[in-house]
Amino acid sequence: MNVTDLATIRVALERREFFLVYLPTVSLLDGRCVGAEALIRWRRGEEIVVDACEFIPQTDQTPLSGPITYWVIDTIADEIGNWLAANEDAHISINVPPEILGRGGLEYAATKSGLRAHVRQVILEITERGIPDQLGLDALNGIASTGARVALDDTTLSGANLALLTRCHFDIVKIDRTLVAQLAPGAPRPTWLDGLSALLQSTSLQIIAEGVESAMQADTLKTAGVQMAQGHHFSTPLSADSFIRYYAATRGGS
């Protein structure tokens, strides 16, 4: 069966073939875990696990984008809702397709699942891909009043990225892994790093670097003022139980 076939993806949702893993977000200041990004995976058969990048883009701007997002919200509430209640300083990030913003389903799903009670711990991640229409833009700019935060995901600090930052309210910018990969021993200092430092000095934005693979990258980003990071240098994506243990371990718990 074709992974990109929407009918196959719909059946997979009905058969509960999807599951979540949690990618820890770590403070570069002290190395403590501060939350996680929920990532969807697809278990096809007994051994094949399909990453989101292989099927989620096919659901963008289709009737499936909403139901999949609402399933993610339900699953987060079920797996780590109690943990969020017990760790009010921690956050959970959810990838949200822009086309469902402003349609009411997102808030309904959060309320129905119970995740709405933890709204101040929720970060909604929006990519530049598929910029919201006016209804979505209005909803995006109004999210701050709900207590949730909004992150611009996969940011390459291009002109389009920076223009979007002026149009919409964002609390967090996530630096794309392709930029982080340029931080290598012996490589020249990339120009985007100076631009990022200027952005940090002129705004109240928080920055999360994606795809950090080495201590050198982590140290360079920390020196530049980046507050948080994700990547295999810290941890691979984890099951809910493993993530909760990882969070506790980085904070001196058991």
pLDDT tens digits, one per residue of 25-57:
999 999 999 999 999 999 987 778 999 988 988
Please give the pLDDT value at position 159. 72
Beta 122-127 vs 172-175: how paired, if at all?
A: unpaired
Q: What average pLDDT does the segment 159-188 reach?
A: 86
- What one-letter code names the amino acid at 128? E
pLDDT at 3 over 70: no
At 125, which amino acid appears?
E
Q: Where are the domains of the chain?
A: 62-233
- What per-residue confidence (pLDDT) applies to 202? 86
Q: For 181-198, what is the mean pLDDT? A: 90
pLDDT at 172: 94
Q: Any idea which of 24-38, 139-153, 156-170, 206-220 has the lowest mean pLDDT?
A: 156-170
Nearest to 164 by CA among 29, 88, 156: 156
pLDDT-derived band of residue 199, with 50, 70 and 90 as boundaries?
A: confident
Which CATH number describes the domain made up of 62-233? 3.20.20.450
| pLDDT of res. 1 | 42
Mean pLDDT on 212-222? 96
On whether the CB atoms of residues 241 and 23 are closer than 8 A, the answer is no
Does the predicted model carry a pTM greater than 0.85?
yes
* Mean pLDDT confidence for 123-142: 73
Q: Which two tokens stand for residue 59?
A: 């659901």
